[in-house]
Structure formats: C-alpha cells, structure tokens
C-alpha cells in the first residue's frame, strides 16, 4: 500500500454537551504506532482548554502530511444512545432504585431524553451556556458529529466508553501482556472508576463505580476546601501541601466521607452533591458542604488527611482486585493517578511487582486510548490481537525546524549564538547555578515536561523552591522534580529497579537515599520523596548528555527538571511561546535547539516578543 493509500485512526477528545476536559487529538496507524498526539491547550494557550480541537487537528495534518480522506475511523470517548440507555439502567438500579416513585425522577428522565434528541444539528444552533464548578462558562459552537464530519468527511465515527478509553491507553501502551487495570477519575459516562484485567490483547471489565461515588470528586472537593481553584486544575497543589500537615487531626472524618467496598468506592453523597439531583454532575458539586463537615482546620491538615485517606482507599481497592486478578503488574489511568504519592504506595504493596501509569493519565489521554481500543477491536474482528507495546517515548507533538527558529529570532531582533557542543555548554551554565530554559524537538504528550520543554537547574540549592517558584508565579511549597541518569538511579532512590517504567514519565515518587538528600536537596520534598524522571540516552540523547556532562563537573547524576511555563499557562509549544516565557520569568539562558540566548542581551524584547 502506498503512503497515499495508507489509512489511519484518529482519536478525539472534544465537547459533547459542554466543554470537556483537555480536548485534543491522537493519530495512530493500523500497526498501532502512535504518530502524533497533542492537546488543544498547548496551541490555544488556554490552560486545560476543552473547546473543539481545531488547532490540534490542523497541527496533526500539517506535521504528518496525511490527508483528511485517509482517516478511516474517528474515535470519541462517549457512548452510543443505546449504550447510554443501558448505562443509565445500571446506574438507576444500583444507585437510585428508591427514587422511582419520586416526581423528580420522571422530570429528570424526561429532560435527559429530550436533551439527547434535540442536540444542535449545526454550528448555527447553540444551547445555553453550560457552567460548573470545574470549568468556565462555555457556548457550544458545533454539534460534535457535524464537527467531525466537517474535518473528516469519509471517516466512520465510533464511540468508546470513557473509562474503557482510559483503560486501553494504559494497557496497550504498557510493556505487559497480562496486567491488572484500574481507572479512576471524577466522572465519565456515569462512571468514576473501573477495575479490569488486560489479557493477551483483550480488556475485561470486572467491576465499576458509579457516580455519585467518586474519588475524583472527593479530591476536587478537598482541593477547593484548601483554597485552590479545582481538582482538575490544582489537584497537584493539594498533594504538594499534604506533607506539611498532620493527617491525624481529620482522618476520622475523611473515613466517614469516602471508603472502599470490594472493587467499588463509596462516598457520603450529601457531602458532595445536592441530594435532589437524580444524576449528580459537576454543575451541582458543592465543596462548601465538605468544608462545613470538616470544621475549622488548616489547609495543611486538610490536605494531609485527605492524602492519607486517598492512599488508604485506592490501595485497598488494589488489594481487593488482586484477589480476583492473578497478575501482579498493574496499569493505571484517569486523573486520580496524577497523584504520584498514591502511585508510590501502590507499587509498595506486596501484591504488586510493578506499576505503569499512562503518561497522559487524565482526560487529555482519552484520544489515544480510544484510538488504540478501536484498533484492538478491528484486529479482533480479523482474528488477530493487538499486543500491548511500551511507548518508545511521548515526544508526539509538533516541532519546529532550525530554519523556522532562526528566522523567528532574526525577525524579532533577538541576539543569539550557535552552540558547537550544546551538552557541555549548558552543563557548564547549570553547574555555575544559571537557570537554563531548554527547548528542542517534538513537544511532550501529557502533563509532564520530559526534556524537550523543560527548565533545568542545579539541584544543590534548596532555596530554589522559593525564588524560582516566585519567578514562575508558582506556589512556594511545590517541590521541583529531578531528572536522573538511569545508571545512577539506585544511588538516588530507595527500592527502585533498574528499569522503572513509571519513573520514565515522572508519574511516581520514591523515597530518596541519604546520598540523594545530601547531594541534591533542592529535588527532595519535605517528606523525603522525589518524583524523578529516569532518562535513558536512547530516548533523548542531548538531554541525557547535558546531565552526563553536569555529572562530570559535579559528581551529581541529577539536575532539576521543571516544566517550561509560567503558572496558570500551558507548557510552551512554539519558539514564540518559549521566548515569551523565558523573558517573563527572567531566566538566565534559553536554548532553542542549537541557538543560545541570554536574558541580559535580550531583556529589551520583553513584552514585544
């Protein structure tokens, strides 16, 4: 088959009834290779953008050169109408059976059915603004099917259950044929969690948790109680804050709020939602009820107790699942598993030998997971299996060639030099305690900066958490993460294996060794943990070589790697984004590929670049 005749599968995360979380696109071929993936926020510059992914589609087509007509399937993480009826029936009989004689049940059922059939059929018809606690107000500009037909006129649209897409993303990009699967988030298609098994290329769902029982809702509520914006936006801040509090003061109340039963989670619904709502959703999610229930408390103690309870219930569910599933390797997806401390505690369970967290674990990863699931079903229909295969890396976004970068620098009047040996040059600056903004190659997929859109610094100064966070407008208690050469991981982290699959993508914490605490204190959180990226040279040679050269100068095989962005902005995508963030943060040096810029020589470009 010629390249012009080759066909592809596109996964889309896009608004269905209202703004989604992290819209975006992923492209795979029929061999299962991920060719391109990006979330709309990186291109629109709107944090967690959930609008229609027009820019993402355009970037995919421009980068890969494929034609729209070559897309055979477009996959969307939702249910067909028939599947929705079945799912609602399951939800009703499990969670709302006693409501059948209440008038509110019939009113709600009528509204839901009516909304399903009067969805806007063109971009000229828009429903009212949909507002909720987690997202800004939003107006639908398209009916989602019309949007897909406009962009991919020959493609067949296939729906995949939200949590099945999460599960497929984790399982099919893992290195294991057989694994326990757990997904966990706020909500998707009336579910908040799924427990299953991946076996020889097939996914079997064993049990599921329905809303209102949601670990993601619990964490979102706690995040709001702590004074932050939302669980989807600032849930990581709550995790960072937890080490500074005393969990004992509130742990009993947390245990009354949420618990685990078998393979399901349960919550005390009145602490999260108005009980008059048939189907709880983000629009009637009320964190004030949790705040009142907890009573007077510091945000540090609230975060600490919630973190402990989160660990307790998730690890209990995993232990329960291991009694049903014979596999001691586990794959994880869903926004809850952005919580790196939970992932660490899962790995420490005697029932678990290894953990893999899908690098785009939140809803930003649904596009790739959904596409992989459809490919697996297509292969099953032909008597074949899609075997899980570890991702080579997650550098799946757009890049910008040297000619483009230099033309841009000349156009804005930037002063720059070309580095002859970038690794040695940048390592020298890092060793002399200069901050280096490092930009190269294809952008990372997922929430972590992994060496292509990163800020690099020496790990020896613990005060950096204060002054660099201030420059980036970030919370001062948030720790910086280390990147460590693979050959030296056992010197730095306790009980880490030679090939730690979760640490390759910075999705898990480890306890630090005394040597690490002494040599690289800036990377060690107050609780003695760090969230490392373990880097292999074959995955990112230039990035690895910088650390290697720094090691030669300092004897430390680790440097700080934090994401290249200002607070409340997405990670930079384009060279234009990079120069602007570099100047706003007043960093010392910016490496754009082989081009090196100093702040002192270019600060006059601030507010103009």
Average pLDDT, the chain: 92
What is the three-class DSSP state of 78? Answer: coil
Average pLDDT estimate for 131-146: 70
The predicted-structure confidence for 494-518, as pLDDT tens digits, reads as follows 999 989 999 999 999 999 999 999 9
Last residue of a domain, one of 300, 326, 359: 359
Residue ranges making up the domain that contains 531: 402-605
Q: Is the domain of 298 the same as that of 446?
A: no
Question: Could you tell me if residue 224 is inside a domain?
Answer: yes
Q: Is the domain of 435 the same as that of 354?
A: no
pLDDT at residue 353 is higher than 80: yes
Question: Could you tell me if residue 211 is inside a domain?
Answer: yes
The pLDDT, as a whole number, for residue 129 is 39
Question: Could you tell me if residue 144 is inside a domain?
Answer: no
The pLDDT, as a whole number, for residue 474 is 80
The pLDDT, as a whole number, for residue 138 is 67
The pLDDT, as a whole number, for residue 17 is 78
Distance CA 535, CA 537 (A): 6
Distance CA 553, CA 547 (A): 10
Q: Is the domain of 299 the same as that of 406?
A: no
Cβ atoms 354, 497 nearer than 8 A: yes
Q: Is the domain of 431 the same as that of 546?
A: yes
Q: How many CB atoms lie within 10 A of CB 102?
A: 13
The pLDDT, as a whole number, for residue 568 is 87
Judging by DSSP bridges, how do beta strands 481-485 and 533-535 pair with one another? Answer: parallel
Question: Could you tell me if residue 141 is inside a domain?
Answer: no
Q: Is the domain of 352 the same as that of 406?
A: no
Question: Could you tell me if residue 500 is inside a domain?
Answer: yes
Contacts of 264 (CB under 8 A, 6+ apart): 193, 207, 208, 209, 213, 317
What is the three-class DSSP state of 270? Answer: helix
Distance CA 176, CA 390 (A): 8
524 token code pair:
């060690």
The predicted-structure confidence for 441-470, as pLDDT tens digits, reads as follows 999 999 999 999 999 999 999 999 889 988
pLDDT at residue 127 is higher than 50: no
Question: Could you tell me if residue 569 is inside a domain?
Answer: yes
Average pLDDT estimate for 131-151: 77
Question: Could you tell me if residue 373 is inside a domain?
Answer: no
Q: Is the domain of 200 the same as that of 326?
A: yes
Q: Is the domain of 451 the same as that of 529?
A: yes
Nearest Cα to 349, choosing from 390, 395, 388, 317? 317
Helices (H) and strands (E) in the chain — how many of each? Answer: 21, 22
Average pLDDT estimate for 229-253: 89
Q: How many CB atoms lie within 10 A of CB 199?
A: 16
Q: Comparing 282-291, 329-338, 567-576, which segment has the lowest mean pLDDT?
A: 282-291
Cβ atoms 464, 588 nearer than 8 A: no
The predicted-structure confidence for 254-276, as pLDDT tens digits, reads as follows 999 999 999 999 999 999 987 77
Q: What is the CATH number of the domain that holds 506?
A: 3.90.870.20
Q: Is the domain of 443 the same as that of 529?
A: yes
Q: How many CB atoms lie within 10 A of CB 178?
A: 16
Q: Assign residue 608 a region (left: φ > 0; alpha: ψ between -120 and 50; beta: otherwise).
A: alpha
Q: What is the CATH number of the domain that holds 240?
A: 3.30.420.40
Question: Could you tell me if residue 440 is inside a domain?
Answer: yes
Q: Is the domain of 444 the same as that of 341?
A: no
Q: Is the domain of 413 the same as that of 352?
A: no
The predicted-structure confidence for 37-75, as pLDDT tens digits, reads as follows 999 999 999 999 999 999 999 999 999 999 999 999 999
Distance CA 273, CA 253 (A): 17
Average pLDDT estimate for 187-198: 96
Total count of domains within the chain: 2
Q: Is the domain of 422 the same as that of 321?
A: no
Nearest Cα to 168, choosing from 189, 192, 197, 139? 197
344 token code pair:
């660490």
Percent of the chain scoring above 90 in pLDDT: 81
Q: Is the domain of 354 the same as that of 428?
A: no
- The dihedral sign for the CA sequence 95, 99, 103, 106: positive
């Amino acid at each position: 088959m010629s390249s012009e005749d080759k066909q592809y599968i596109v996964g889309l995360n896009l608004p269905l009834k209202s703004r989604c979380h992290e819209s975006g696109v992923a492209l795979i071929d029929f061999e299962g290779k991920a060719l391109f993936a990006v979330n709309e926020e990186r291109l629109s510059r709107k944090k967690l953008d959930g609008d229609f992914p027009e820019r993402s589609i355009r970037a995919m087509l421009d980068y890969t050169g494929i034609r729209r007509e070559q897309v055979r399937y477009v996959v969307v993480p939702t249910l067909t109408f028939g599947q929705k009826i079945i799912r609602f029936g399951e939800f009703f009989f499990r969670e709302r059976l006693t409501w059948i004689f209440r008038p509110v049940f019939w009113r709600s059922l009528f509204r839901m059915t009516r909304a399903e059939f009067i969805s806007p059929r063109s971009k000229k018809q828009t429903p009212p603004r949909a507002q909720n606690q987690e997202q800004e107000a939003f107006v639908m500009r398209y009916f989602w099917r019309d949007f897909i037909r406009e962009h991919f006129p020959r493609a067949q649209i296939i729906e995949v259950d939200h949590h099945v897409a999460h599960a497929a993303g984790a399982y099919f990009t893992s290195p294991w044929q057989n694994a326990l699967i757990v997904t966990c988030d706020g909500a998707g298609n009336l579910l908040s969690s799924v427990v299953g098994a991946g076996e020889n290329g097939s996914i079997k769902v064993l049990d599921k948790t329905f809303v209102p029982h949601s670990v993601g809702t619990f964490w979102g509520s706690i995040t709001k109680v702590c004074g932050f914006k939302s669980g989807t936006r600032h849930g990581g801040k709550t995790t960072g804050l937890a080490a500074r509090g005393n969990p004992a003061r509130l742990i009993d109340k947390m245990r009354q709020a949420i618990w685990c039963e078998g393979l399901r989670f349960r919550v005390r619904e009145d602490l999260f939602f108005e009980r008059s709502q048939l189907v709880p959703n983000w629009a009637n999610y009320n964190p004030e009820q949790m705040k009142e229930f907890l009573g007077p408390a510091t945000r540090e103690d609230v975060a600490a107790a919630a973190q402990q309870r989160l660990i307790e219930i998730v690890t209990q569910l995993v232990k329960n699942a291991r009694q049903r599933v014979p596999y001691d390797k586990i794959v994880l997806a869903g926004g809850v598993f952005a919580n790196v401390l939970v992932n660490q505690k899962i790995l420490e369970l005697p029932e678990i030998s290894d953990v893999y967290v899908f690098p785009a674990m939140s809803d930003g990863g649904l596009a790739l997971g959904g596409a992989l699931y459809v490919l697996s079903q297509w292969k099953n229909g032909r008597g074949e299996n899609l075997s899980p295969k570890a991702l080579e890396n997650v550098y799946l976004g757009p890049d910008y060639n040297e000619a483009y970068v230099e033309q841009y620098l000349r156009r804005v009047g930037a002063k720059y030099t070309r580095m002859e040996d970038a690794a040695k040059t940048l390592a020298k600056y890092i060793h002399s305690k200069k901050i280096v903004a490092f930009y190269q190659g294809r952008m990372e997929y997922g929430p972590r900066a992994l060496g292509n859109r990163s800020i690099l610094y020496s790990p020896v100064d613990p005060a950096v958490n204060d002054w660099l966070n201030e420059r980036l407008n970030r919370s001062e208690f948030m720790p910086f993460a280390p990147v460590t050469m693979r050959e030296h991981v056992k010197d730095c982290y306790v009980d880490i294996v030679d090939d730690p699959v979760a640490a390759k993508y910075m999705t898990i914490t480890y306890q630090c060794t005394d040597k690490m605490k002494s040599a690289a204190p800036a990377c060690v959180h107050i609780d003695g943990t760090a969230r490392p990226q373990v880097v292999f040279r074959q995955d990112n040679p230039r990035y690895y070589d910088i650390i290697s050269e720094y090691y030669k100068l300092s004897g430390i095989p680790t440097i700080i790697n934090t994401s290249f962005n200002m607070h409340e902005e997405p990670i930079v995508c384009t060279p234009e984004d990079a120069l602007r963030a570099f100047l706003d943060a007043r960093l010392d040096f910016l490496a754009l590929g082989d081009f090196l810029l100093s702040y002192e020589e270019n600060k006059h470009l601030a507010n103009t670049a």
